[in-house]
Amino acid sequence: MLDVLEAWDVNTMLTILAPGIEHHYEQRDGVRIAVMSHEDGSWARAEDHDGKVTVHQSGPRRLWDYLDQVRDFWLRHGELPLSRRAGDDHPGRGDHPPAWPMVGDHRPVSPSRCCRPAC
């Protein structure tokens, strides 16, 4: 299970998508637990039992889905859109970074909207 606080690029993209997410990690009886929470009432809890991860989440936004979106983009493209400067050239991939997909109907929220449940 990825520790978001240790992966600056994933943490930064997640912060762009949903500013204000808090992360907490602990290990209990051999089970690694990750909790994501937001002041709008959204939360996610993941438990890693010997490589099998179970996720529960609720609230106006699905925080773990945002993390999955960022992680999936990172794995598919080898980097996140913030990892390079505009205009940098990547051989075989064209001059432009891949389009950043959105989770379902959700869109990145601006800091002025981050606390509204309908983001």
59-117 pLDDT, tens digit per residue, is 999 999 999 888 888 888 777 666 444 445 454 555 444 555 554 444 444 333 333 33
What token pair was written down for 106? Answer: 């959700």
Q: Tens of pLDDT along 46-63?
A: 999 998 999 999 999 999
CB 59 within 8 A of CB 116: no
- Please state the pTM of the whole predicted model: 0.67
